[in-house]
Amino acid sequence: MTIMLQVLKFQLGHSMSSVRQFLQKPIKLDEGHFALGASDSSLRAKAREENRKRVRHMKRDLHELFGQHPSSRRLMRRLATVEHSLNTKGLEGLEALPVRVIARALAEMEGLVRDWSPTGLAELRSRMAVIVKTRPHDKAEEVDLSTPTTRAPVSVHGELAALPSDVSEVDHTEFEAMERSWVGFVPTAHGALATTT
């Protein structure tokens, strides 16, 4: 008898939770008929919130990357421009940048980042690569490949290899500080001589 009561309680409890879940589902009006499910406006609101969340992750991860390398904002101007555009106008600001700037920022980012596990950095890299790959370059932005140039290529990735890089002069102490932040130590002249002899 007690087993039958337990089974009945379980079935009633299960039925009550099913009814509760059913009553919590949103109801939408679709062409004059009621239907269960989320409305189009709530789906759009969810999509907007997901987009905002992804942009926040991109901003946060890029800010943390620049925090690891304090003078890199000054040295990597195109990537700093991307950060500023994301902070002020979001993805629309990023997409409004010229392709040449985005391509150089992508090359700067790929040169700086070694660990792509932060999802914001990985998604930002992916978005920038898609923009560079799919959006046509303006005629004014294209590089004339027929004339030799003394500048080194920015990257080895297709279109990016043709773009010249910007070089900034910094004093030696700032260079050593940046190198220490990347590798953890600066090789000394004495240590280099000891290893070669």
Do residues 138 and 98 touch, judged by C-beta distance below 8 A? yes
Residue given tokens 């620049």 in the structure block = 66
How do the domains of the chain map onto residue ranges? 47-133
CA distance 46 to 41: 9
Do residues 121 and 82 touch, judged by C-beta distance below 8 A? no
**How do residues 158-197 score in pLDDT, each as one tens digit?**
444 455 555 567 777 877 777 777 665 545 555 555 455 4
The pLDDT of residue 11 is 72
CA distance 54 to 119: 9
**How do residues 113-170 score in pLDDT, each as one tens digit?**
888 888 899 999 999 999 999 988 755 444 444 444 444 444 444 444 455 555 567 7
